Amino acid sequence: ACGKVGQLMTSSVTQAHVSAGPLTLSETWRFTTIVSLTILLNTCLVVVEASYIQHAELKEMFHVLDAGFTVFYCCELGIRIHDCGWENFVFEKGNQLRNVFDSVLTAAGAIDTGMTIIGLNGSSGTIFGVVRIFRVTRVFRAVRF
């Protein structure tokens, strides 16, 4: 989030709240817990999808679930950008790499989902499909919380 999360990890919530001001939505315990659980659920889905990749009858269900996760990640990213402001989101010390990584993953996932919806999931679609594998790395972010 916007610099206060580090304080939350090292001090009590009341100290962080008093010293840094009110928490934004993306810095609340509830928000980070929901995001973390969603990331873990998405990771489980990737594992299940890999196990059933040969079952053509399940492809549509996996596409719908993946689109739902993509919408969630787009909303989560939008909330974080709104809470931090664009400059803080991009240039915040200590979180630049994570924020850029999340942005690239989310954008690539949105493009992949869009290409799947309009039926362009041929060779160019599989390039963006690799992004699904990288989404698993988000689980490290979930564990960090």
- State pLDDT tens for residues 54-70: 888 898 898 899 899 99
Share of residues in the chain with pLDDT > 90 (%): 24
Higher pLDDT, 10 or 52: 52
Higher pLDDT, 82 or 15: 82
DSSP 24: P
Q: Is the pTM of this model over 0.85?
A: no
DSSP string, 72-130: HHHHHHHHHHHHH-HHHHHH-TTTHHHHHHHHHHHHHHHHHHHHHHTT--SHHHHHHHH
Q: Which residue has the tokens 């928490």?
A: 23
| Predicted pLDDT of residue 92 | 78
| Predicted pLDDT of residue 9 | 39
Q: How far apart are CA 49 and CA 61, in angstroms?
A: 10
Q: Would you place residue 135 in the very low, low, confident or very high pLDDT band (cuts 50, 70, 90)?
A: low
pLDDT at 131 over 60: yes
Structure tokens at 143: 């564990």
**Three-class SS state of 52:** coil
Q: How far apart are CA 87 and CA 85, in angstroms?
A: 6
DSSP 23: P
pLDDT at 22 over 60: yes
pLDDT at 84 over 80: yes
Q: Would you place residue 93 in the very low, low, confident or very high pLDDT band (cuts 50, 70, 90)?
A: confident
